[in-house]
Each structure stands twice: as C-alpha cells, then as structure tokens.
Amino acid sequence: MYEPYGEEKKGFNLKEKISNFFHKIKEKFSGSGGEGGKSSKITITLVALALLLTIGSITGYISYTGKINTLQSEKLLVERQNENLRNEIENLNQRISSCESEVQSVKSSLESTQSQLLSTQTQLQETTQNYEKTQQDLKVCNEDKLSLSSDLNSLNEQLKKKKEEYSTLQSKYNRLQDDLEETQCNYARDVCKESKFSMEYYFVDGNEIFCCSKMDEDSCFGNKPSSSEEIKKIEC
C-alpha cells in the first residue's frame, strides 16, 4: 500500500531522540553509589517505565498513523476504482443509448417490412383471386370455343351444301340463259333475218325482240335500245 514519505521519516527521528535521551540518563546515574545509587536505580527504573509507556504510546500512534495512511491509500484506490466504474457506467449508458437507437431503427424497419409484407400478401391474394377468375373465364371461353367450333363445323357443312346447291343452280341458270339466248336468236332469225327486209341484228327489250339493220341504235325498228351494246348479231 501507499505510505506518505514525510510521516515515515518523522516517526524514525522521534525514536532516535528517545533513544538518545535514555542513553544520557543512563550515563548520568551510572556513576552514583550507596543510597543515592539505589534511589538512582529506582529513578532510572521509573524513567525507563515512563519512557516505555511513552514509546508504547508513540508506537501506537505511529501504528495508528500507518493504518490511517493505509486507509487513505485504500480510499484513493477505491475512489479511482469508483471513478473508473463511473466512466465504465457512462460508457455503458452511451452504448445502451446507441443500442436503444439501433433497436428503434430496427423496430421501424421491421414495422415497414411488415407493412410491405402485408401489402404484398394483399396483392398476392388479389392476384390469386384474379388468376382464379381468369381461369374460370378461360374455362368458360374454352367451352364456348368448343361449342362455337361445333357450330362452325355445322355451318361449314351447311355452307358446303349451299355452295353445291348454288353451283347446281348456277349451272342450271347458265343452261337456261344459253337456252334463252338461243331461243331469242332463233326467234330473231325467223322474224328479222328471214323477213323481206333481211335484217341481221336484233336487241331484246323485256319479252319483245326488235330487229336492227346494223350495230346502231338508230337502225332498229319499232323501238330503240339505250345503247348499241344491247344490239346482237344473229348467228344461230
């Protein structure tokens, strides 16, 4: 332990002075004899006892002073330890404050992440519902497609039949048209070409046939066509 330098030196000087004082008294009474010598011995004894008591008290004081010095040193050590503990507590408080800030930041981040997760879950739920609805709509569309495909096949068959019927009717019409034109030509030949005027052209207006002398609407008799393109040559 730490002991003050000055107090230790002071105790040492006091002991040395007492020893010198005892030595002087011993020298003073060492040469006396008889009763005086006996009295001197008693005096020396009393002085020695007083000195011993004094030295004991001084020694106790020195010991007490040493204890005080020890306690002061221990007090300084405790105060230093206390100061170190205060510094450590302050550092710990700063670290706790920093940790609390980090915890608050992490808490805020966690709340934000939870909010985003909740929003994502809501979007996922809506997307799932839309997907299921789309799947249902797709199923209905596929069923409609199958139905329409069946109807389309039926219509194609009907169209095919209609085309065949149309082709048959067109053939009949063409034959009838040819027959009509041939009949008209034969009638024009009998009426126009073999008449006394011997005209070789004609045109048809409704159910009537008019004779023409040439490919000119002004050369026709009885009626005139709207254009010369209606006039036909008798080639039957």
Residues whose CB is less than 8 angstroms from the CB of residue 184 and which lie 6 or more positions away in sequence, other chains included: 202, 204, 209
Listed by start position, the domains of the chain span: 5-109, 176-233
- pLDDT (0 to 100) of residue 4: 42
Residue from 58, 47, 40 nearest 22 by CA:
47
Quick: pLDDT tens for 52-75. 656 656 666 667 777 888 888 888
**pLDDT band at residue 217 using 50, 70 and 90 as cut-offs:** confident
Strand partners of residue 208: 205
pLDDT in tens, 19-35: 666 666 666 555 554 45
pLDDT at 8: 43
